[in-house]
């Protein structure tokens, strides 16, 4: 959540059950947070299980307005109608994968998003019980809080017949993000929608999916060190003002990054991703070894490298999985040699689906 903790265990890839279903997201997003139905909706399931992926936010020059979803890593939420829970309320009955999270739904990312979604659906006659399975460590720079929120919002929505569109689910997750890590959608939007997402506006919320070509290969090399990088501390390091030359440079690089995504140009994407002159230069010195890790990644053949979210995870990009594994090993070595930090490397594809229903028991 907002406070980051040292990793308890390495990240593990997710294996989906055969019943996994993929939902095609609705891409038009322009909405405000409010109750969407005047009459109460009826549940279509007695219980559901959902999944939401990890995310890489900022992507270098895209601070707070660009993000992407990562395949095979994320959080699960199981949700069921529970007669023992007061109508219109949600309780968190179990949390696995982390001992640091509060079971109080008012102070838990999944709980906050679930409540927000229930309000949107005008749920008043049913109480819900929620179980959260953390697949992401807290404070990893991989959108841990957003994954929990996205999975919870989707679970509530699916339980009641999928009445809400992705724009409203993002708003429900944004309600959670605002309370734990700040009002930014570059994690929650791709966690819900999948793929790359550009946040065009926050008031009103307007989201633009950036479709990376299906016939192009893209791999994220994610290297997560055993280090605490509190979001509050990492945001406090940012400059209050920036000069016009850096502003112009970052805008041009963000534009180049968007163009590269749409064209499937992984080389161009990597070059733009590595070119931030505003945020990364302030944050990298706070993560031991990060500057050396970036140099090692590029020297080993990565097309680009930067900090994932607020860190401490480093993210590099490449178009070949085997090359990615070799690059990841060089990055791990750099963290150990220069930062004296142990780390774990993974090579993952882009998640094009986002948060989705995994299974459900019809009512």
CA distances from 306 to 23, 55, 83, 222, 293 (A): 31, 14, 48, 10, 9
Q: Give pLDDT, residue 4.
A: 32
The set of residues, in sequence order, having a beta carbon less than 8 Å from that of 248 and lying 6+ positions away, is none
Q: How far apart are CA 55 and CA 77, in angstroms?
A: 17
DSSP label at 301?
T
Q: Is the Cα torsion angle 324, 251, 256, 147 positive or negative in sign?
A: positive
Average pLDDT value for residue range 169-196: 92
CA nearest neighbour of 152 among 169, 171, 140, 135: 169
Q: For residue 44, how far is the Cα from the chain centroid?
A: 28
| Res. 71 pLDDT band, cuts 50 70 90 | very high
Is pLDDT of 19 > 60?
no
Q: How far apart are CA 306 and CA 33, in angstroms?
A: 33
Share of the chain above pLDDT 70, in %: 90
Q: How far apart are CA 74 and CA 147, in angstroms?
A: 6
pTM: 0.88
CA nearest neighbour of 3 among 140, 172, 185: 140
- pLDDT digit string, tens, across residues 253-303: 999 999 999 999 999 999 999 999 999 999 999 999 999 999 999 999 999
| Cis peptide, bond prior to residue 62, ω within 30 of zero | no
Q: How far apart are CA 123 and CA 100, in angstroms?
A: 29
Q: Which residue has the higher pLDDT, 135 or 21?
A: 135
- pLDDT digit string, tens, across residues 213-226: 999 999 999 999 99
Q: Give pLDDT, residue 34.
A: 54
Q: How far apart are CA 104 and CA 119, in angstroms?
A: 18
Q: Give pLDDT, residue 47.
A: 98
Q: For residue 111, how far is the Cα from the chain centroid?
A: 17
CB of 13 closer than 8 Å to CB of 108: no
| Res. 37 pLDDT band, cuts 50 70 90 | low
- pLDDT digit string, tens, across residues 98-124: 888 999 999 999 999 999 999 999 999
Dihedral angle computed from the Cα positions of residues 87, 89, 95 and 98, in that order, rounded to the nearest 10 degrees: 180
């Amino acid at each position: 959540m907002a406070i980051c903790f040292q990793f308890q265990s390495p990240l593990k890839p997710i294996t989906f059950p055969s019943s996994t279903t993929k939902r095609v997201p609705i891409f038009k997003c322009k909405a405000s947070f409010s109750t969407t139905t005047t009459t109460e909706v009826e549940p279509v399931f007695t219980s559901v299980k959902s999944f939401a992926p990890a995310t890489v936010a900022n992507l270098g020059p895209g601070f707070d307005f660009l993000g992407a979803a990562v395949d095979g890593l994320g959080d699960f939420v199981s949700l069921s109608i529970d007669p023992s829970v007061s109508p219109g309320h949600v309780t968190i009955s179990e949390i696995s994968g982390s001992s640091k999270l509060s079971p109080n739904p008012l102070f838990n990312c999944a709980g906050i998003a679930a409540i927000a979604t229930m309000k949107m659906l005008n749920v008043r006659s049913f109480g819900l019980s929620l179980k959260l399975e953390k697949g992401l460590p807290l404070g990893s720079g991989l959108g841990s809080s957003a994954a929990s929120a996205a999975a919870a919002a989707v679970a509530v929505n699916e339980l009641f017949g999928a009445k809400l569109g992705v724009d409203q689910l993002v708003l429900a997750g944004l309600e959670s993000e605002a309370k734990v890590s700040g009002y930014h959608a570059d994690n929650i939007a791709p966690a819900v929608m999948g793929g790359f997402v550009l946040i065009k506006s926050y008031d009103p919320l307007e989201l633009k999916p950036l479709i990376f070509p299906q016939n192009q290969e893209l791999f994220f090399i994610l290297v997560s060190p055993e280090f605490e990088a509190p979001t509050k501390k990492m945001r406090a390091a940012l400059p209050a003002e920036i000069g016009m030359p850096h502003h112009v440079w970052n805008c041009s690089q963000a534009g180049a990054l968007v163009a590269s995504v749409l064209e499937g140009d992984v080389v161009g994407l990597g070059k733009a991703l590595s070119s931030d002159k505003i945020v990364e230069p302030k944050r990298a010195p706070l993560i031991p070894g990060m500057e050396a890790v970036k140099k090692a990644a590029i020297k080993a053949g990565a097309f680009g490298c930067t900090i994932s979210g607020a860190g401490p995870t480093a993210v590099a990009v490449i178009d070949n999985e085997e090359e990615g594994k070799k690059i990841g090993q060089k990055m791990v070595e750099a963290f150990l040699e220069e930062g004296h930090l142990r780390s774990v490397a993974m090579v993952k594809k882009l998640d094009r689906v986002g948060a989705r229903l995994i299974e459900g028991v019809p009512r």
